[in-house]
Structure 1
Amino acid sequence: MNLLAVVLQAQGGADYSFLIMMVAIFAIMYFFMIRPQNKKQKEIAKFRKNLEVGQSVVTAGGIYGKIKEVEDNTVVVEVAAGVKIKVDKNSIYADAQAQPAK
């Protein structure tokens, strides 16, 4: 009963502090979470669009190899001498040359 009285009293005061707080929280989430994620997705899409034959890449499964053929939606990757696999373009994760040394 006491909690209900507090809630009813809080709604009676029509100040805009709650609205301002919600807008501020959304703005913080947008600039720290949503915007960087969208930027990263655009960079990855641009990378996948510009794949070239001979480029060293890493697949999403962690397979390192060199691109031998680029088709519309697939890429043929040579993982060892004479061993080629066909993978979806969306599973190409990164440029193997750009991976940081551990």
Structure 2
Amino acid sequence: MFATPAYAQAAGATPAGPEAMLLQFLPLIGLVVLFYFLMIRPQQRRMKQHQAMLGALKRNDTVVLSSGIIGKVVRVEDKEVGLEIATGVTVKVVKGMISDVRTRGEPSPANDAKV
């Protein structure tokens, strides 16, 4: 009643072969590739950099933990690190919780007293 002959003729004209399947899955494949390059690959690169940073960890390095605690490395083991967070206070920390290794030449804020 509301369908015109042109719409009725076009309804059966879609290809039903493997080309049609490829055209249906092409946007999905494109999204997977885009997701890989925008999300997975950069995360893998960050993980490799973090593992290299932890591998290069040595005594007397100043580190920042993921909780924000800053301390000096006094002992490095396979999976744990001895960290001096205050004079005479040493804690054992899992290596994976170290988020940053500070360099020695980092400038201090102007309002801090020289030690």
TM-score range, shorter chain: 0.7 to 0.9
In structure 2, C-alpha distance between the alignment counterparts of 1:58 and 1:86, rounded to whole Å: 14
**Structure 2: how far apart are the matches of 1:30 and 1:13?**
31
1:5 paired residue number: none
Tell me the residue number matched to 1:41.
47
Rg larger in 1 or in 2? Answer: 2
How far, CA to CA, are the matches of 2:93 and 2:101 in structure 1? 15
How far apart, CA to CA, are the structure 2 residues paired with 1:84 and 1:22?
A: 52
Could you list the per-position Cα deviations for residues 17-41 of structure 1 after superposition, in whole angstroms to 9, with x for gaps in the alignment?
A: 2211111100100000000001111
Residue 13 of structure 1 deviates from its aligned partner by 4.5
1:17 and 2:23 matched = yes
Q: In percent, how many aligned pairs have the same letter? A: 31
Any unmatched runs of 5+ in structure 1? 1-8
Q: TM-score, normalised by structure 2?
A: 0.69
Spell out structure 1 runs of 4+ moving beyond 2 A.
96-99
Q: How big is the shift at 1:46?
A: 1.1
Q: TM-score normalised to the size of structure 1? A: 0.77
* Counterpart contact for 1:64–1:96, Cα < 8 Å: no
Decide which structure has greater helix share.
1
2:97 maps to 1:96: no
Matches within 5 A, 1:59-74: 59-74=65-80
Number of residues of Structure 1 aligned to a counterpart in Structure 2: 90
